[in-house]
Chains A and B, each alone.
Chain A
């Protein structure tokens, strides 16, 4: 009986204008809902791109511990450590004492593809294990594929402490 009554009811025809409106309404609301969810998601994921560089001075040792003319590796906490990073937050530089007051600090990353360069004290050369990039003691390119010399960090001496301005992984 109820079915018969329903069959006898006229079909509800929507006008083309109302159909168009409802189509846009549905799509529009869906787009807004997607944006409400999606924008924070995308922002969260690309967040690291939006953070400004904030280099940090890191103490690497008493000035008296560095001999003039010698190049040594110094380790320090990088410029943006996370509390859960553990040893991954450590980084290093090759520190060279030029004279009583002046130092040079070279990035450990090869300027070719970022591999860790080693200082060969006897040979007075930096060498890269990956593709054989070689640098002189002053960081300039000696041989191999590096397109430029080793990146340098600013160095200063404060209160008898040598400090390096830790910053982003050198990428050009």
Chain B
């Protein structure tokens, strides 16, 4: 039996040469000292395999028909055997892939691994980053629920800002002039054929380059990359101190890949895939579209931009980011690699990471969005149940003031906090602000009657520290110390 197997392998090898090729790849020499920081590329590859495998499995049930997909996804999520788990794996696999690409890029950048002769590795990696974000976005749309529908419109509108050809790009994306039957099948084709093919081809090239140019040695302070001498130095290092990739180095990749798979599986099992929203009916408007978490920071950026530079930034920033990242190894392909000798590289990474995290937190809070579900203020908070103050408090809710302004922690955050507005503004100031609007506030002069204005102003004028202190004391005597503290804080600001 053993002999028969050996004969089969030999015959296969004689006709293909693949066994020798595979052994050569597995045993190719790697510089010494590569540690756990070198496992992130393998982790990304692991995620890709998970995405391909779970994606193929899901495609055996998925139907890209805008009239049926929602029901099919409900079936996959709630009834199909392992359907919920596979959707979860696919979702968290995509999330992990994007996160790990970011970590891999940071590691490669900080350790100067993108320098000669690995410039093309970096460039293909940058292309993969944007392709993976694109395939992630199309994947979000394949959920084909209410949020997916509106996210599609949002993407079309953004593309529509492109000068001259924007309308055509948007129509290309939608598969027509309206969102509907052709849109979903188009996104399905982008997701599983176009983008997936590009990604697989570029990943193959990326891996080929890893083998061709070798894994970079850990950076050493003061050891410069010189394109004229690098190859000879690298070959000498491998000849003298190189270790075989399998199993001396690969075991770490295997351990890391195992952790990645188990983490994704655990998240899929215990957290599960994102629940579907409402049906994909564009005439249902009670939707609050948000991108998936990895694009939430960009959503926040768009919300912060001044109006006059919005279109330029919306289209120019991604373009600039792609070009800049592609040019990194062109501009800095030699010299020092060690991060301790490249402080600007470290500062750049820290700045970018902190900015993204900051915008991400802001995006998850979305303080610029009206709080449509704000409830009318309670009688205890208003302080009375009758008279102009009570009527004004009801108007504060009914006229949507509360959707954008907070009072004692209730309401939206788009506008200023009005908890102590009476300490900041006089009655006349308040009236002028309400009537004329300004900044991000509509003018209510044509909306409110005179009586409504008076009641609303009466309510706002009652929002003072004195009343707050009285209410707090009445509600909980023990809270008086805290209220006094609040009084001190507010009294410091000019009225």
* Chain A interface residues toward B at CB < 8 A: 46, 48-49, 51, 53, 73, 75-76, 78-92, 108-109, 112-118, 120, 122-125, 127-132, 134, 136, 142-145, 147, 167-169, 171-172
Contact = CB atoms under 8 A, between A and B. Distances in A.
Given A92-B282, A169-B174, A81 B303 contact: no
Given A114-B157, A129-B288, 16 more contacts: A78-B178, A80-B176, A85-B66, A86-B65, A88-B179, A91-B283, A118-B372, A120-B400, A124-B447, A125-B400, A130-B288, A132-B303, A134-B440, A167-B177, A168-B171, A169-B177
Instruction: List the 7 closest pairs (A to B, CB-CB), nearest first.
Output: A86-B67, A82-B181, A142-B442, A168-B177, A85-B181, A171-B160, A114-B157
Interface residues of B, number: 62
A101 to B, nearest CB: 24
Residue from B66, B178, B439 whose CB has the most chain A CB atoms within 10 Å = B178
B146 to A, nearest CB: 9
Contacts of B294: none
Contact of A171 (B68, B170, B303, B440): B170
B168 interface: yes
B279 interface: yes
A130 to B, nearest CB: 6
A112 B305 CA distance: 12
A143 B154 contact: no
Nearest to B439: A143
A130 B369 contact: yes
B310 interface: yes
B447 A79 contact: no
Interface in B170-205: 170-172, 174-184
A48 B160 contact: no
A132 B368 CA distance: 6
A19 to B, nearest CB: 31
A109 B302 contact: no
B289 interface: yes
B399 interface: yes
B34 interface: no
Given A113-B157, A169-B153, A73 B180 contact: no
A75 B370 contact: no
Nearest to B176: A48
Interface string B429-458: 000000001011111001100000000000
B476 interface: no
Interface string B272-289: 000000011111011111
A163 B437 CA distance: 35
Interface string B380-404: 0000000000000000001110011
B414 interface: yes
Nearest to B180: A85
B175 A48 contact: yes
B154 A88 contact: no
B441 to A, nearest CB: 6
B218 interface: no
A108 B183 contact: no
Given A114-B153, A123-B447, A169 B178 contact: yes
A162 B403 CA distance: 33
B180 A82 contact: yes
Interface string B454-476: 00000000000000000000000
B369 A91 contact: no
A149 B368 CA distance: 19
B370 A132 contact: yes
Contact of B172 (A46, A75, A108, A125): A46
A126 B185 CA distance: 33
A53 B168 CA distance: 12
- Most A-side CB within 10 Å, residue of B153, B158, B168: B153
Interface in B112-163: 149-150, 153-154, 156-158, 160
B212 interface: no
A109 to B, nearest CB: 7
A60 B234 CA distance: 74
Given A90-B282, A132-B370, A147-B307, A127 B184 contact: no
Interface in B44-71: 65-68
A107 to B, nearest CB: 11
B338 interface: no
B167 interface: yes
Given A49-B172, A90-B282, A142 B437 contact: yes
Contact of A86 (B68, B167, B182, B399): B68
B156 A169 contact: yes
Contacts of B177: 48, 51, 53, 79-80, 167-169
A85 B154 CA distance: 20
A80 B66 CA distance: 14
A136 B156 CA distance: 25
Given A87-B67, A87-B280, A115-B154, A92 B178 contact: no
A90 B67 CA distance: 11
Contacts of A167: 177
